[in-house]
Every structure is written in C-alpha cells, then in structure tokens.
Amino acid sequence: MRTRRVGWGVLGIVALLACTPARASEPVVDGRPPADAPGAEKGAPPAPVGEPPGTTAAAPVTRFFLHGDGVLRLENAHTHEKIVVRFRDPDGAYSAQALAKVDALFRSRGDDARTRVSLRLLETIDYLEDTEQPQTLQLVSGYRSEGYNDALIAKGGQAARTSMHSEGLAADLRFGGVDHRALWERLRALECCGAGFYEKSGFLHVDTGRPRFWEQHTSKVKENLSKGNARVIARTDYDRYGDLVGLETTLHAITVHPLRIARQAKLVASDGGREIATLELASRHAPAAGGDCIAVDGRGAGAREHLRVVSVEPPKGGLADPAARGGPGVAVRARIALTTCEPRLEATPERIETNPIEVSAAALGAGRGTGG
C-alpha cells in the first residue's frame, strides 16, 4: 500500500480553484470533436451558457467547483475494460466521443443499457482520482437500468428503489492502495455529495445528491426513503455561470406524479437565504404557457424533469451586497429555490433547493429578457 500523502486541505482548496495539471506521460485514448465542429456529435452536452448583451460577463472555463485535469483513467471491475480519456479540454469543452466511452464503461450489467453519465459525477470522480492518485481506480457499479436495479432488490442486494445509479448520478468505486475510510471522512468534510463507505465490499459509493453519509451497516436503501416525492432533488447542469438565462436544473427522484412546480423561482444567497433575483422557468415537456405552475406528469419526464431559466429579474434597487457590485469579475454564490404548487401529493416538499452555484454579478445586475 502506498504512503498516504499529507496536506489534503491544501489539495482540496487548490482543486476548487484551478484544474490539476494533466499528467502528460500517459497516452490519452479518444480525441476531441473536430476543431471546426466542437460538440457537434449527437449527444454532446449543451454549450456553456453565454453572456448577456450589454455585459462583460464571460462563461467560466472550469464549470464545476470540484474538478480534476479532465483526464480519467478507469477500469470496469467486472469486465476489466479500461479507458484513459480526455473528456474535457483545457478550454473547458467536453468531448462527446470521450463521454460516449465513459457511458459505455458505466453501462448496466445484464442488459448493457446505457445513459448519459452526469458531468457533475464525472468531474467529482476526476477530482478524487487526481487528489488521491490511486494505484488503480475501478468502477464496481455505474449505471443501473430499471430492470437490473429491480433484479438486485429481488435478490436482497444493496439497492434503493429510486437509486441514483438509475439516473447516471452515482458510482461505486474502488481506489487501489487508498484507505477508503479515510477518503470517506474527507468527503464528509467537503460536504460535496452523497458518500457511502462499504468496508466489507471494499468500495465507496459517490453520488451527486445532497451531502449525506453512511456506512454499509447504517444504509437505509431498503426503506424506500424517496417514496411519495420525499427526496426530490434539484441539480443544475453546471456550478459556475456567466449568465443564468439558459441554465437548466433537473429534478431527480420523482416518485409520484403530477409534481407541480411554480414557474417563478428565486435565486437566494447561500449565506442566509436572502433573495437575489426572480427567475422564470420553462419545461422541456410541459406546455410553454398556461398557468403559474408546471405540471410534471411523468409521460415525458419519468423520474426526472428538466427546467430551463428563460428570464432573470434583478432585485429592485440592485444587489444589496456592495461587494457583489464590485465589477464584472465578481461572482455571487447562491442557490435556486423552487416552490411546489398545491395540491402537494404525499410527501412532496414545499421548497426544493439546488446545489450552490456561482453567477456573474454583472449578469444579475443587468437581468435578461425571455430566452425561450
């Protein structure tokens, strides 16, 4: 077993501020999309949200708080397939070809079904790989199709009925030569994600849900905690934005339909929850107009729903915090607060908040009209 490196705190801070330098000594298998058509392949992630007219806000290159060098080295523990892919270029562009290789490695056991693995999850795994530098990094469990997940439950396996694995939001990982308990405790300190320590099975579960932590003997996967929309979560497509118009937030773990979401949401400060701006939302699946609420009926969305910000109304009188008005380079840390509409079925919460995000103060001060 390798010697533990010291100074995790410093590493964590550095990784939150800048990408880890690429290790050029290893070959990179895959290529970026052609230079004249970046991201043109089917299934490529959306382009970064652009800057509003009349402002100098620029979309940041590093779009997630936790990120590595953009190169992932991963082995499927069951098939022993290995990939070394550059999924993100230094300029921040994601390679559809590389992401397709990741999706293939994450495919569901039994039926080989695939889904698009969350970029947030992929960046988190890359961050952990770069800071821990394991001898090997193995994927024990990636995407689980509904059929495969049901089969695991039927056999008494450690699988939740609304598993985050079933939406491409979770991975069970084995870090070769790394103390898994110590790593789990560091993840707890970061409060970035969900993390489970499975000592007997020899892996860590990492997901993009709310910060929560458990061990194998304290896992409550068989209690169906998401029943009745009790654990609906909202996650934005990125963490850092030059502008909010075009931002997409996805609702996950919808277990009861219809779920009704107010078209008006609030951008609230992370430190205290004061309102910063009012956002207007639209849905991919619900009608573009009609009523104050978006009704997610499950026919088009199933267990998830994508909501897009189409307009931003800045606060009357401008931003309250003088520091936030300091110039175009200033970023505001906040969350998007969604309100559910009555009648609320079963355990549907009244308020659902996203992960923390950063947005340009200049863009907030300018506001934006409808973006469709």
Token reading at 327: 């110039």
C-alpha–C-alpha distance, residues 167 and 118, integer Å: 8
DSSP letters of 288-327? SSSSSEEEE-SSSSTT-EEEEEEEEEPPTTS-S-GGGGS-
Task: Give the contacts of 125 (CB within 8 A, at least 6 positions apart).
Answer: 72, 74, 137, 171, 173, 206
Please give the residue that has the higher pLDDT: either 369 or 249.
249
Residue written as token pair 């919808």: 254
Domains 8-223 and 227-366 share a fold: no
Quick one: CA dihedral 278, 284, 290, 294, positive or negative? negative
pLDDT greater than 60 at residue 211? yes
Over residues 229-263, the pLDDT tens digits come to 898 999 999 999 988 999 999 999 898 999 999 99
Q: How far is CA 169 from CA 58, 78, 94, 132, 141, in A?
A: 28, 20, 18, 21, 11
Query: What are the sequence ranges of the domains in the chain?
Result: 8-223, 227-366
3-state secondary structure of 29: coil
Phi and psi at residue 131, to the nearest 5°: -80, -30
Token reading at 101: 């290789």
Confidence band, pLDDT 50/70/90 cuts, at residue 354: very high
C-alpha–C-alpha distance, residues 92 and 18, integer Å: 12
Q: Which CATH architecture has domain 8-223?
A: 2-Layer Sandwich (3.30)
Over residues 255-308, the pLDDT tens digits come to 899 999 999 999 999 887 789 999 999 987 655 545 899 998 876 656 788 999
pLDDT greater than 70 at residue 23? no
What does the pLDDT read at residue 152?
Answer: 63
Helices (H), 4-145: 8-17, 96-105, 119-132
Over residues 152-202, the pLDDT tens digits come to 656 655 555 567 898 999 999 999 999 999 999 999 999 999 999 999 999
Over residues 98-124, the pLDDT tens digits come to 999 999 999 998 889 999 999 999 999
Cβ contact 237:318 at 8 Å = no
What does the pLDDT read at residue 70?
Answer: 97
This prediction has a pTM of: 0.80
Token reading at 370: 């409808």
pLDDT greater than 50 at residue 44? no
CA angle in degrees (0–180, nearest 5) for 117-126-239: 70
C-alpha–C-alpha distance, residues 190 and 172, integer Å: 18
- Report the range of poorest mean pLDDT among 7-11, 168-172, 215-219, 278-282: 7-11
Q: How far is CA 313 from CA 124, 235, 344, 356, in A?
A: 32, 21, 27, 19
For 340, which DSSP code?
Answer: B
For 126, which DSSP code?
Answer: H
Confidence band, pLDDT 50/70/90 cuts, at residue 367: low
Q: How far is CA 173 from CA 4, 125, 184, 203, in A?
A: 18, 9, 11, 5
Helix axes 180-190 and 8-17, enclosed angle (nearest 10): 50
Nearest to 95 by CA among 73, 74, 71: 71
What does the pLDDT read at residue 62?
Answer: 86
Q: What is the mean pLDDT of residues 38-51?
A: 36
Nearest to 341 by CA among 276, 272, 259: 259
Over residues 50-99, the pLDDT tens digits come to 333 333 345 557 899 999 999 999 999 999 999 999 999 988 999 999 99
What does the pLDDT read at residue 156?
Answer: 59
Q: State which fold the 227-366 domain adopts.
A: Immunoglobulin-like (2.60.40)
Over residues 302-349, the pLDDT tens digits come to 678 899 999 999 877 666 554 444 455 688 999 999 999 999 999 999
Instruction: Choose from 50-59, 122-131, 352-361 the range with maximum mean pLDDT.
Output: 122-131
What's the whole-number average pLDDT of the chain?
Answer: 79
